[in-house]
Structure 1
Amino acid sequence: MKKVCIVALLVIGLSSFAQERKERHPKGEIEQMTLEQRNQLHLKKMTLDLDLNAKQQEQVGKLMTEQMAKIEKMKAEHKAKMEEAKALRFEMKNKMLDEQIELKNKMKSILSADQFAKWELRKDRNNKRMGEKRKLHKEHQRD
C-alpha cells in the first residue's frame, strides 16, 4: 500500500513539472513590433496610468520617440562591437592553436617518443592547473 501511494505521488509530482508553461511576453512577439508601434503602446499605457492630456501625450510621445531612436542606435553600435569582438577572438584563438600545433611538431622532431610522451603529460597537467587557477580567479571576481 505504501509503495502504491509513493508511486502515485511521484506520478502526480512529475506530471505537474512536465506541463508546458507560457511566458507573459514571448520575446519574439515584442521584437516583431516596429519602433512606432512599441512607442504608441507605451504612450497609451502611460496615458492610462498618469492621466495625460492631449498636449502632454504629444510632448511625451516626441520625447519617447527620441529616446527610442537613441536606444536603437546604441543597440546597433553595441551589436557591431560584439561582432567585431567575436571575429577578433576567433582570429586570436586560431593563431594560438596554429602556434601550439607548430610547437608540438617541433618538439616531436626533437624529443624521443618517451620524452615526448612525458612532455605532453607535463603540459596537460600544467594546463589543468592553469584552468583551475582561472576558474578560482573568475569566482573571486564575481564575489
Structure 2
Amino acid sequence: MKKLIAGALLLVGMTGFAQEKVSLQDRADNEKFTAEQRNELQLKKLTLELDLTASQQKEMSKIIAEQNSKREAAKADFKSTKTSNKKLTADERFVMKNKMLDEKIAMKEKVKKVLTPEQVEKWEKMKKDRRKHFRKDLKKFEGKQIEKK
C-alpha cells in the first residue's frame, strides 16, 4: 500500500514538472519588429478592419507613428525609473497618469477627425475587444508558472 501511494505521488510530481513553462521572454522574442514594421502592420490591420481609404491610411499612419513613438519613450522612462529603484511620489504618479490620459484624449480626437462615424464606432469596439482578450491572456498566465530569462 505504501509503495502504491509513493508511486502515485511520484507520478503526480513528475507530471507537474513536465509541464511546459511559459516564458514571457520567448513570447516577446517572437515579435521583435522594427518600429516601422510595427506601424505598418498596425496600419494594415486597421485598413482591413475599418476599410480605410488611401487618404485615411496616410493620416492614420502619421497618428500611429506618433502614438508608438510616445509609447516607446514612456516605456524607456518607466524602465529607467524601475532600474534606478526610485519610487514615484503620489504627485509624480498623478502627473504621469494625467499626461497619459490627456494623450489618449488627443489621440481619440485625431482619430475622430480622420475616420467616419461608423469607422470610429468599429474602432472603439476593436479597442474594447482587445482589452477583453488581454485580460483573458493575463488570467491564463496567472495560473501558470512564469519564468524569466
Q: In which range does the TM-score fall when normalised by the shorter chain?
A: 0.3 to 0.5
Choose between structure 1 and 2: higher helix proportion.
Answer: 1
The TM-score, its normalising length taken from structure 1, stands at 0.42
Q: Which has the higher contact order (CA 8 A, sep 6+)?
A: 2
Return the index of the structure with the highest Cα Rg.
Answer: 1
